[in-house]
Amino acid sequence: MKIEPQHVVSLTYDLYVDQENGEEGLVESATQEQPLTFIYGAGQMLPKFEEHLSGLSTGDQYEFRLTADDAYGEYDNEAVASLPKEMFGTEEIPAVGTMLPLQDNQGNRLQGQVVSIAEDAVIVDLNHPMAGQALHFKGEILNVRPANEEELSHGHAHGADGHSGH
């Protein structure tokens, strides 16, 4: 069965990015024991990632690269915010490296990483952690099947077999 919209795809991958020394380094993996499983075409994955998988079948190997623009975009220096310490009220000021769940003025949810603590503010980087990086994927398609009605109504896969989850 070939990958197409409204099909559940389970796959392995190794994700590589360029390191400071100029060589590629492995930063993330999905294994046969813990594969990445998603509904193809449901908007859960990077569009160019899905585009490279289109038409592949169970057992197919794949390898492709995504530019930063096709992945998480270029790093935006303007996407660094200074949050007043008073915003945290009586809570402890988060440590550098902490990921903070935030919400913008339009109600959109986003994540920011604390990059430094100033005298009166917490400095948060709102860029995706992989912004500005080209991504190199290698992997194998483990399973392709039609999504069931429950998965389609929930908008996500219920595991490789369609029965895992909730």
Spatial distance between the Cα atoms of 127 and 65, rounded to a whole number of angstroms: 21
How many other β-carbons are positioned within 10 Å of the β-carbon of residue 138? 15
Q: Does residue 152 surpass a pLDDT of 80?
A: yes
Place of tokens 């990958």: 3
| pLDDT tens digits for range 20-54 | 888 999 999 999 999 999 999 999 999 999 999 99
Rg (CA), the chain: 19
- Cα of 95 vs its chain's centroid, Å: 23
Confidence tier at 165 by pLDDT (50, 70, 90): low
Instruction: Look at residue 166 in the predicted model and tell me its pLDDT.
Output: 55
Q: What is the pTM of this model?
A: 0.82
Instruction: Look at residue 156 in the predicted model and tell me its pLDDT.
Output: 86
| pLDDT tens digits for range 53-64 | 999 999 999 999
Q: Which three-class secondary structure state does DSSP give residue 67?
A: coil
| pLDDT tens digits for range 85-128 | 998 888 899 999 999 998 888 888 889 999 999 999 999 999 99
